[in-house]
C-alpha cells in the first residue's frame, strides 16, 4: 500500500506538540513527528490549553518569514516507515482507537516552496 521513500500528498487532520497527523482520504494514521518537520519550526501552545496550539515553519530571517500550519493545508510527505503494531488484547476506554497500520513520514520540503510560489506569483 505504501512504499518507503514514496512521496504522497495528504491533508492535515490534527496536530499537537508531538507533530502532525495527516489523512489521504481512505487512511488517517499518517504521522509527521517533530524531528521530521522542516527546520526551523516551532509550536506555540494556547494559553488556556497546552494540548492545543499552532505550528509554525520559520523559513527565513525576515520578520514575516514564517508560515502557520492550518487545517486547509495539503502537505507533501515522504514515507519513512510503515509499521503494524500488535493488536492489543484490551484497550483502556479513554485511549485512541487502535490503528492496525502506522505510517511515519518526513515533510517533503517542496510543499512549502509550492506554497511560496502560490503566494508570490
Least confident among 12-21, 24-33, 56-65, 72-81: 56-65
Tens digit of each residue's pLDDT (9 = 90 or more) over 4-15: 788 888 898 888
pLDDT beyond 80 at 48: no
pLDDT band of residue 50 (cuts 50, 70, 90) is low
Q: Where are the domains of the chain?
A: 7-87+98-120
Any idea what the Cα angle at residue 55 is, between residues 50 and 57, rounded to 5°? Answer: 150
Q: Report whether CATH 1.10.3720.10 matches the domain 7-87+98-120.
A: no
Is 50 exceeded by the pLDDT of residue 114?
no
Q: What percent of the chain shows pLDDT beyond 90?
A: 0
For 21, 57, 85, 97, 99, the CA distances from 93, given in Å and listed in that order, are 22, 35, 19, 9, 15
Residue 108 has pLDDT above 80, yes or no: no
Cell output for 89:
488484547
What contacts 53, CB < 8 A, 6 or more positions away? 16, 17, 43, 44, 45, 46
- Provide the pLDDT for residue 106: 61
Q: Which residue has the higher pLDDT, 92 or 58?
A: 58
Let me know: does 117 contact 46? Beta carbons within 8 Å: no
Residue with cell 502532525: 20
Amino acid at each position: 500500500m505504501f512504499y518507503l521513500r514514496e512521496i504522497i500528498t495528504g491533508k492535515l487532520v490534527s496536530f499537537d506538540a508531538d507533530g502532525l497527523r495527516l489523512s489521504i482520504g481512505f487512511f488517517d494514521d499518517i504521522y509527521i513527528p517533530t524531528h521530521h518537520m522542516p527546520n526551523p519550526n516551532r509550536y506555540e501552545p494556547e494559553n488556556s490549553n497546552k494540548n492545543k496550539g499552532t505550528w509554525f515553519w520559520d523559513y527565513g530571517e525576515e520578520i514575516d518569514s514564517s508560515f502557520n500550519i492550518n487545517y486547509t493545508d495539503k502537505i507533501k510527505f515522504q514515507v519513512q516507515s510503515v509499521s503494524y503494531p500488535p493488536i492489543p488484547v484490551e484497550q483502556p476506554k479513554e485511549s485512541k482507537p487502535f490503528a492496525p497500520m502506522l505510517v511515519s513520514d518526513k515533510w517533503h520540503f517542496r510543499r512549502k516552496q509550492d506554497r511560496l510560489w502560490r503566494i508570490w506569483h
